Amino acid sequence: IRRAGLEDLPGVARVLVDTWRATYRGVVPEAFLEGLSYEGQAERWAQRLKTPTWPGRLFVAESESGEVVGFATFGPDRASGFPGYTAELWAIYVLPTWQRKGLGRALFHEGARLLQAEGYGRMLVWVLKENPKGRGRHPGPLRHQRGEPPRGGLRHHQGGGGAVSGGPGGHPPPQRRRP
């Protein structure tokens, strides 16, 4: 698990597109999923990373051969309306063949550690209610202060009826519904 650079963006794009197509088929319109492209997503991420004022932090998970197999992006809360929450997990995706191996947890904790070191407090996590894998990791209709990463007090909040964190590309999210 490490901070991502421009050289990682083709892998980040592949993870995003492939994971969305596997996870959200039957949940979001098929035309939308088919319209996602590796090139388009890589360009969107490049624009973000090249923008000095972009407030995000992008991490990647690599296989032993150096292939990007997962990523997560974090940053300040994007006006959620939940008082006291200063940080947000914008997006977290792991290729289906690499899921259930602890990579998502490792990505989450690495980002949480960085945000905590930067002075952020509690973190929001939004999970699409139609995403049973994501909801299985963040159960309940609404959880306050569910857990802490190692070495700290950065906490997260999960909105059960919330929209997918970040949508394709991680920023900004689709319209949210309050639980």
* Confidence category of residue 134, pLDDT binned at 50, 70, 90: low
Choice between 159 and 72, residue whose per-residue pLDDT is larger: 72
Q: Is the pLDDT of residue 31 over 70?
A: yes
Distance of CA 150 to the CA centre of its chain: 19
Residue 54 structure tokens: 């972009």
Region 107-115 average pLDDT: 92
CB under 8 Å to 68, separation ≥6 — which residues?
4, 8, 10, 11, 12, 14, 15, 60, 61, 62
CA distance 38 to 108: 24
**DSSP single-letter state for residue 113:** H
Secondary structure of residue 57 in the 3-state scheme? strand
Segment among 29-33, 60-64, 65-69, 160-164 with least mean pLDDT: 160-164
Region 46-57 average pLDDT: 95
Region 149-165 average pLDDT: 36
Residue 55 structure tokens: 């407030």
What are the CA-CA distances from residue 7 to residues 11, 26, 42, 45, 53 (Å)?
8, 32, 10, 11, 20
The predicted model scores a pTM of 0.74
